[in-house]
Structure 1
Amino acid sequence: MDSTTMTITPTPPVPTVVRGDSAVGISQARQAARAFADHLTPAPDPDMADTLVLVVSELVTNALRHGGGRYTLRLSAGPDTVTAAVSDPSPAYPRERTPDLDGGNGGFGWHMTRHLATHLTITTGPGYGKTIHAQLPR
């Protein structure tokens, strides 16, 4: 009887790009992140996929709210990582805010993103604006 060993080689899907300039764009970004994770081979851990969707949601929301009202989301994957890169037209870096525990005015997103991402970088330009790169383990 022959024994066969099957090896699954990680294959990254084609990078995904989503642009938005309204609250509807937040839902579109979440859906794109979920679809991107669902098409990774091998499939990621469900918790990682949920984390990716949460990080994308927070970064896109912050871009719309604090970064000039529009964003470009780029999703990519390597053998060991998944990266969500969100660009917006504001050159201002994110800043820590004390979360509003009573009034519902936010302040949680940047804290959460910093906690969930294994590697977080911010680059400026080209031109005006910035891109936040959040890397997660695959």
Structure 2
Amino acid sequence: MGRLSINVAADRPAGPVAVARESARCFLEGLAPAHASEAAGTVVLVVPELVTNALRHGGGTYTVDLTEHPDSIEVSVHDRSSQAPRMRTPDLNGGTGGFGRPMVNRLARATVVTRRASGGKTVTALLAR
């Protein structure tokens, strides 16, 4: 079973989001058997969405854990905020977002938000392999 953990603290989302995306790609390339290209694309799409949310709303520091299971990939993003994510109406004109969480919920088999005993929360998406 493969596992990868990425820890990043940053002031600007662009750098750490790119690091998370590329790390997810490398993780998927190392799996045996290989991850189906459509499913891999979903993982590479979901990871930066969850990381962006952690950076914007979770205190600027995050950890991503990617875990391989026989029929799925588990993406868990930990941040320092104990506030649960909320659904909001996507902003079609102002560019303030609101699209990520609904997209992740549609792409994932399941999404779960849990509070961490050490503080903060974890948002987990279980994606098809």
In which range does the TM-score fall when normalised by the shorter chain? over 0.9
Q: Which runs of 4+ in 1 moved over 4 A?
A: none
Query: How many matched pairs?
Result: 126
From 24, 30, 48, the equivalent of 2:39 is: 48
Deviations 1:37-94 (A, max 9, x none): 1111111111111110111000000000011111000001011110110000000111
% identical aligned pairs: 45
From 1, 5, 15, the equivalent of 1:17 is: 5
Shift of 1:98: 0.6
Structure 2 residue ranges without an equivalent (≥5): none
Q: Greater Rg, structure 1 or structure 2? A: 1
More strand by share: 2
Residue 52 of structure 2 aligns to a residue whose secondary structure is helix
Shift of 1:126: 2.1
From 25, 43, 51, the equivalent of 1:60 is: 51
Is residue 119 of structure 1 aligned with residue 89 of structure 2? no
For 1:92, the equivalent position in structure 2 comes to 83
RMSD over aligned Cα, in angstroms? 0.9
Matched AA of 1:50:
G
Q: Distance in 1 between matches of 2:128 and 2:5?
A: 20
Shift of 1:19: 1.2
Alignment check: 8 A CA contact 1:76 1:83 kept: yes
Alignment check: 8 A CA contact 1:19 1:25 kept: no
> Taking structure 2 as the reference length, what is the TM-score of the superposition?
0.94
Matched AA of 1:72:
T
